[in-house]
């Protein structure tokens, strides 16, 4: 009967994981301590009946039995977990990459299942805390933000950093001459907007959908799936804010197509009778300091229009690299509804260091969601380093 009661009590506490067993032990331990105080008080109270004292003794015995059963299960699980981790560590000791993959898989699974991440896994991921916080470990955070698999054509061309409260000069060098800036537009812009730029924090949530099959699959498959989804989400968000024609409130300054304010002026528009004339005119309109490193972002469909016009029935131009046709490197993206020309070193993305992770479940689809919250900003450090291309409207 006592054994049956103990089993029922364990089911009541729901002690399935090591964390839940620890919680149950703490709860019963507190009850046991209180019971001992009550028993002592009754034993010293002459008015207390022997029946009350015996009842208190029985309650203490029941609580002690429960605690002993919980402790036995706790010790068994802790020993099994330590052995499992030791075996895994031994297996992965000669393969650091596999060790990190295993630690990341543990982080993803534990987060989704609302369990505690082991200190060993957090340490492998670059976090020396206990794993109880909600900050994404450095290894995971940096990889998601700096090594995306999604398609953001600005990667490798714009500047990317991961620094909290970043403020930088708009120009990387100065001279002691007051009039060292030869480009009049740049001098005017600096006089109007100041010679430094401070990066803000704009919340971005990236969600990786994870099925039960993937969650219970191999470490490699889980990590590849979640990493790929998060990294792609980051890249798509960057592209979206940089080429937004109707930016969200508060994100207007991030877009190359912004209408502009006194502190964040719009990019200069250069027109031409056709795309080729407008693009080459925009390149020529840049000051030589920017023109030397200039690149062109445009839609592939627009480039085909240029080829069709220039080729005039010939197929020779179609085999030529776009750089030979335009005169500058060309990067294709459908997001560039109007071609953007300029020195993209002056396009700068910055992320706050402390990304957060959380989990949720879509009750409609049954999918688990691993959610990363990051803070980012995109600053066009100098509008004068860019041009927007437009075709002159024909009457």
Closest CA to 59 of 23, 24, 40, 31: 31
Could you read off the pLDDT tens digit of each residue along the chain, which spans 395 residues?
A: 344 344 434 444 444 576 777 778 888 888 888 888 888 888 888 888 888 888 888 888 888 888 888 888 888 877 777 776 666 655 555 567 777 788 888 888 887 877 777 777 777 777 655 444 556 666 666 666 655 555 788 888 998 888 888 888 877 655 445 554 555 677 677 776 667 888 988 988 888 888 888 888 888 888 888 888 888 888 888 999 999 999 999 899 999 999 978 788 899 999 999 999 999 999 999 998 899 999 999 999 999 999 988 877 677 788 889 999 999 999 999 999 999 999 999 999 998 877 788 888 887 888 888 888 888 999 999 899 999 999 986 54
- Asked whether residue 161 falls in the same domain as residue 35, the answer is no
- Rounded Cα distance between 203 and 187, Å, is 33
- Asked whether residue 379 falls in the same domain as residue 297, the answer is yes
Q: Is there a domain that residue 106 lies in?
A: no
170 CB contacts (<8 Å, ≥6 apart)? 190, 194, 195, 196, 197, 346, 381, 382
Q: How far apart, in Å, are the Cα atoms of 153 and each of 299, 377, 378?
A: 12, 17, 14
- Rounded Cα distance between 348 and 385, Å, is 13
pLDDT score for 239: 92
Beta strand spans in the chain (E): 159-161, 167-169, 196-198, 202-210, 268-272, 295-298, 330-332, 340-342, 347-351, 356-362, 367-380, 386-391
- Asked whether residue 249 falls in the same domain as residue 348, the answer is yes
- Rounded Cα distance between 292 and 279, Å, is 15
- Rounded Cα distance between 236 and 205, Å, is 12
Q: Is there a domain that residue 223 lies in?
A: no
Q: Is there a domain that residue 75 lies in?
A: yes
Closest CA to 270 of 288, 292, 257, 285: 285
Q: Is residue 350 within 8 Å of residue 377, measured between CB atoms?
A: yes
Q: In this structure, how many other beta carbons lie within 10 angstroms of the beta carbon of residue 124?
A: 22
Buried b (16+ CB within 10 A) or exposed e, 277-298: bbbbbbbeebbeebbebbbbbb
Q: Is residue 111 within 8 Å of residue 55, measured between CB atoms?
A: no
Q: What total of structural domains would you count in the chain?
A: 2
For residue 38, the enclosing domain spans 2-91
Q: Is there a domain that residue 124 lies in?
A: no
- Asked whether residue 46 falls in the same domain as residue 188, the answer is no
Q: Is residue 328 within 8 Å of residue 296, measured between CB atoms?
A: yes
Q: Is residue 167 within 8 Å of residue 350, measured between CB atoms?
A: no
The pTM score is 0.66
DSSP designation for 244? -
- Rounded Cα distance between 177 and 180, Å, is 5
Q: Name the domain boundary from 91, 106, 130.
A: 91
Closest CA to 265 of 145, 381, 119: 381
Q: Which long-range contacts (CB under 8 A, 24 or more apart) does 14-21 make?
A: 15/70, 15/73, 17/77, 17/115, 18/74, 18/77, 18/78, 18/81, 19/115, 19/116, 21/70, 21/73, 21/74, 21/77
Q: Is there a domain that residue 330 lies in?
A: yes
Distance separating the N- and C-terminal Cα atoms of the chain: 96
pLDDT score for 140: 65
- Asked whether residue 146 falls in the same domain as residue 39, the answer is no
Q: Is there a domain that residue 102 lies in?
A: no
pLDDT score for 21: 78
- Written as one string, the DSSP assignment of 347-369 is EEEEE-S--EEEEEEETTTTEEE
Sheet holding 295-298, edge to edge: 268-272, 386-391, 340-342, 295-298, 330-332
Tokens of residue 222, six digits:
């889980």
3-state secondary structure labels for all residues of 209-236: EECHHHHCCCHHHHHHHHHHHHHHHHHH
- Asked whether residue 153 falls in the same domain as residue 74, the answer is no
- Asked whether residue 151 falls in the same domain as residue 73, the answer is no
- Asked whether residue 31 falls in the same domain as residue 149, the answer is no
Q: Is there a domain that residue 116 lies in?
A: no
């Amino acid at each position: 009967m006592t054994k049956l009661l103990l089993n029922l009590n364990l089911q009541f506490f729901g002690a399935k994981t090591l964390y839940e067993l620890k919680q149950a032990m703490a709860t019963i331990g507190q009850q046991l301590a209180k019971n001992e105080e009550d028993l002592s008080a009754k034993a010293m109270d002459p008015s207390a009946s022997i029946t009350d004292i015996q009842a208190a003794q029985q309650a203490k015995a029941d609580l002690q039995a429960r605690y002993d059963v919980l402790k036995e299960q706790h010790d068994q699980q802790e020993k099994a977990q330590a052995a499992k981790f030791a075996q895994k560590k031994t297996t992965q000791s000669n393969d650091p990459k596999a060790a990190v993959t295993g630690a990341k898989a543990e982080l993803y699974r534990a987060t989704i299942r609302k369990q505690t991440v082991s200190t060993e896994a957090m340490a492998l991921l670059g976090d020396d805390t206990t794993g109880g916080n909600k900050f994404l470990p450095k290894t995971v955070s940096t990889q998601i933000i700096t090594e995306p698999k999604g398609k953001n054509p600005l990667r490798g061309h714009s500047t990317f950093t991961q620094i909290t409260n970043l403020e930088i000069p708009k120009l990387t060098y100065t001279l002691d001459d007051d009039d060292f800036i030869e480009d009049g537009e740049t001098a005017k812009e600096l006089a109007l907007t100041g010679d430094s730029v401070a990066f803000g924090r704009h919340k971005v949530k990236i969600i990786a959908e994870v099925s039960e099959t993937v969650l219970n699959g191999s470490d490699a498959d889980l990590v590849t799936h979640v990493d790929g989804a998060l990294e792609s989400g980051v890249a798509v968000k960057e592209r979206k804010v940089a080429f937004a024609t109707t930016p969200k409130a508060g994100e207007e300054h991030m877009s190359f197509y912004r209408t502009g304010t006194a502190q964040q002026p719009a990019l200069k528009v250069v027109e031409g009778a056709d795309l080729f004339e407008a693009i080459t005119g925009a390149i020529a309109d840049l000051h030589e300091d920017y023109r030397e490193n200039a690149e062109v972002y445009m839609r592939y469909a627009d480039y085909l229009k240029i080829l069709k016009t220039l080729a005039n029935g010939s197929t020779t131009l179609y085999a030529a690299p776009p750089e030979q046709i335009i005169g500058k490197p060309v990067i294709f993206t459908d997001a560039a509804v109007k071609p953007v020309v300029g020195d993209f070193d002056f396009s700068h993305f910055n992320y706050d260091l402390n990304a957060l992770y959380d989990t949720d479940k879509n009750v409609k689809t049954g999918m688990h969601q691993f959610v990363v919250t990051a803070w980012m900003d995109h600053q066009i450090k100098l509008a004068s380093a860019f041009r927007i291309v437009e075709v002159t409207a024909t009457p």
